[in-house]
Structure 1
């Protein structure tokens, strides 16, 4: 979950390294560092905290080749000695991932006389490459040999002061791509870090090792086989990852949701029908043979899956199971070759979800679908079918627009499956399509409620706990609201199905426990109103997000905010927007770091 940038060019690359790290801080921000091939030796600068600290410390450093890193700590506390790059002899290494056999390597290398100065697994890589160079002086070949001994996930970038014209990178499990230009070549964990210099990207495959010079790139696999990887022109623009006039990326991304949804739903265009081909050329035949759906996801993406379960079972009429990806492959499960396995991930590199997908395929479940925001990602490449959500870059750690676009994609999946199964009448299909086309406008109207939500958030500044309630397909929305609040405001928040109040959570309710409820005007509203009365009877203070036509009176202790319109089955997409805004403004009041909450990172590429 760390960020890597590497560069070799004909001019000073330090500003490019620093700017690239700034774009990758969402991947980790415990510490940062860079190393360059100086005139006499490797020059290294490291700092604890944000990239801004590193930028100040590196002022005056200049070189034509180097590597840089921003860290999310796994092995060892955030400190300067644990910060990357790690040096051994004349080489410096940065690393993303986890080396599972680092302890045995550490023991072996210590016996050879290497001294470890950090608690990290990465330092084992540095010493291993340095030891390999004693017998194989070619850096490219030495990195190949060393990587054959590494167990686990890694993306690494290496420089050697004896060969300042070269950077060598390698990938297995953790994301890494190259940026190619006529005057220099680059590597990074994410395309956003390289848009400052090029949109021409080469996506490395697992087992690739690449040698970069300012004039050329060569790629080989670990066994030495030379390979060619195509150059892709990234659709991203540098402006897409700029903050603009917003205070935080999270706020920017919340307000980008109408556009993100419009882009995602552009696939249905002016059509009057939902075409299964939206999910791939094989989709119609594959969906026709599907008798159930298994969704694999983590965190926010799992909440989109839980919401989709209601849609898939009610519209398509087939069973749907949602599994937390980090748990799925560690239990004995009953496989079904007629089941569609859906992997959901914003980045497409989420380690737990990718591992769960591979586990399902190893069990013989080969009918797979990726719902993802990154077209070239590992999860997309690993699935038979795919749907790209087109949310655009999401920099804030707390996911917002990725979530709502996932919901839109999953609703389309429910419709496409229902259509193939003969369960979607023409009138109903047309009604759903019209609603989906209107969705960006409906979301824009909800965003207009921000001033009222901001006023509510001020009441949360002195709270330590909060309870979220929802029923039916809005219970996962309550889960997502609680997650957002705890992620960025550090207010402890839990979510429950409202009917479960009397089975335990009601014991927590008092005047100091705000209770936030999602209250759409659906067939469960009357039961929800009874649950809300249970809260009021115990002195709890209610904050209710209701539809315009939901008959819930505002009174003392019951604060009401009404959404502009009721949206039927798709109302979860609208109801999550005010919960995102509530979390954002509560965090502002409390003064937390909205885009970079403590202990977290955006792309969870370690288990």
Structure 2
């Protein structure tokens, strides 16, 4: 979940500036603390709790060197403070780590018995001292085998050796890319972080270790063999990492959703790889589907299940990945759909490995090329959402939904292209409406509890919107089916509780929802309505704050896309009113690569 960077140059360069700029692009992976270590006559170390901007005032941007490493942290071991920030230094070595060393406590006990002293509570420092201790009497090549045999967990690390100015690292279950430029090699947790002078990216395989000196790269595979690795052209895209005039990345990404949706539709119509995958799915003669995901990806699966209920008699199950992995028994399916935006979500990867005996039935839905999840599945569908920087997902979730809807159409042998394009036009219109109901936001801001409620096809979307609201506002939020209110949750109703009903007059259970709204209102909770014009008119109670959505000529099965946008905007403006950091909510990170 952390972001790591390494730089090795043939000549001395202003390396602090390059390391800082690269870390800024990786900050979405974690922002509890950060730091940079520079190879020089003596190792120089700068690290602080807080985000990368907080580190800036402690850096000397005129420092020149030929090697450096950097880190931005999402804490897993040890409190958020300066001492636990990476990099760590021991003698002439510096280290940064992404991931978890699972047996670090036994490693730490071994080192303490050898009179090593620790300055932090982290597994990263334990790994640094463990490697440094072994290198006292062994070569770097021998150390690679030692690490593989004795260090447990999923991690990537970089070790700066100031004795010879080299970098040593390993990719063990977590994403790591090597960028190649004239007279320069860079390493980063995400290739998106590379600067424009990088023109090639080397694709490392899982288990690879590597040694870099100046611009020479040696890769050692799991069989301890020196091997070449494939490189591909890298094209720097500044638009993907700029706000382009928006105040936040999240608002930019909300407004990109219609464009991203059209990109996905275009690829699903003409892309040969996509068409081939959809054809493979058809040939499976699917009657049962099991969907696996975490967070937003799980909720996308729930929406797919709702759509399937409308059209098929398929048995569709949806499981949270961290739970599915421990199931001893589960119903066998004709198709398993594993959903992950990054393709590196640890819990989902473990499920793919668990299902390796039915690999030919595994379909991944991801937003990242060449991901680990793709390598574990026989079939893969990209969602073409582009890079998403905001930690709270918007456009990636939207395109996950759209890809799942197109899979539904694939089963129906129907394209619905005109309807989909019309829906995307409506999405664009909603995104362009920058006004919001200040009174509604004021009501929510005063709430101690927020409950979202709906029925039928809109219910799964309220699960995702509830997640967005809690991620950004830090208010306790949950989503409850409207018909379930009377089975316990109605005890929560009081003047400090706001209940947001997402309703559509097209829903067969609309009259039932009106009863549920009245039950909540009578018990003192604040009621807010997000609905179409007809439903708001039928309710008729002017005491309710409301958001009106234009669903004219939009089929009920496509309406969740429109309600999603309004929910995203609601969560955004509430967080803004509360003064919260919208792009970097507290305690979160974009890519969840730990269990």
Q: TM-score, normalised by structure 1?
A: 0.93
Of residues 274, 279, 288, the one that matches 2:284 is 288
> 1:501: which partner in 2?
485
Whole-angstrom CA distance in 1 between matches of 2:310 and 2:272 = 18
Whole-angstrom CA distance in 2 between matches of 1:209 and 1:407 = 37
> 1:433: which partner in 2?
417
Change (3 A) 1:279 1:218: farther
> 1:424: which partner in 2?
none
SS in 2 for 1:267: helix
| Deviation digits for residues 34-69 of structure 1 (CA, Å, limit 9, x no counterpart) | 111112x22111111011122221224332101100
> 1:350: which partner in 2?
345
Deviation (angstroms), 1:256:
1.1
Where does 1:126-141 land on structure 2 (aligned, <5 Å)? Answer: 126-138=128-140, 141=142
| Deviation digits for residues 401-439 of structure 1 (CA, Å, limit 9, x no counterpart) | 1111000000011121333xxxxxxxxx25x22112223
| Deviation digits for residues 54-108 of structure 1 (CA, Å, limit 9, x no counterpart) | 2221224332101100011111001111111112221111000011111111111
| Deviation digits for residues 186-241 of structure 1 (CA, Å, limit 9, x no counterpart) | 11011221144325222322100122233222211143112222112346612211
> 1:107: which partner in 2?
109
Where does 1:455-534 land on structure 2 (aligned, <5 Å)? Answer: 455-520=439-504, 521-534=506-519
Q: Please, which runs of 5 or more residues in structure 2 have no aligned partner?
A: none
Whole-angstrom CA distance in 2 between matches of 1:142 and 1:120 = 21
Deviation (angstroms), 1:457:
1.8
Whole-angstrom CA distance in 1 between matches of 2:433 and 2:439 = 10
Where does 1:583-594 land on structure 2 (aligned, <5 Å)? Answer: 583-594=571-582
> 2:17: which partner in 1?
15
CA contact (8 A) 1:465 1:493 kept: yes
> 2:54: which partner in 1?
53
> 1:558: which partner in 2?
544
> 1:446: which partner in 2?
430
Whole-angstrom CA distance in 2 between matches of 1:316 and 1:66 = 57
Structure 1 runs of 4+ aligned residues shifted over 6 Å read: none
Q: Could you tell which deviates more after superposition, 552-561 or 281-290?
A: 281-290
> 1:256: which partner in 2?
256
Q: Please, which runs of 5 or more residues in structure 1 have no aligned partner?
A: 420-428
Where does 1:245-324 land on structure 2 (aligned, <5 Å)? Answer: 245-269=245-269, 278=274, 280-281=276-277, 283-284=279-280, 287-324=283-320
Whole-angstrom CA distance in 1 between matches of 2:393 and 2:522 = 35
CA contact (8 A) 2:497 2:526 kept: yes
Q: TM-score, normalised by structure 2?
A: 0.94
CA contact (8 A) 2:301 2:318 kept: yes
How many residues are treated as equivalent by the alignment?
Answer: 588
CA contact (8 A) 2:284 2:334 kept: no
Whole-angstrom CA distance in 1 between matches of 2:281 and 2:528 = 47
1:568 matched to 2:569? The reply is: no
Whole-angstrom CA distance in 2 between matches of 1:493 and 1:15 = 41
Q: Could you tell which deviates more after superposition, 235-244 or 72-81?
A: 235-244
> 1:423: which partner in 2?
none
CA contact (8 A) 2:449 2:475 kept: yes
Deviation (angstroms), 1:382:
1.6
Change (3 A) 1:109 1:280: farther
Whole-angstrom CA distance in 2 between matches of 1:498 and 1:199 = 54
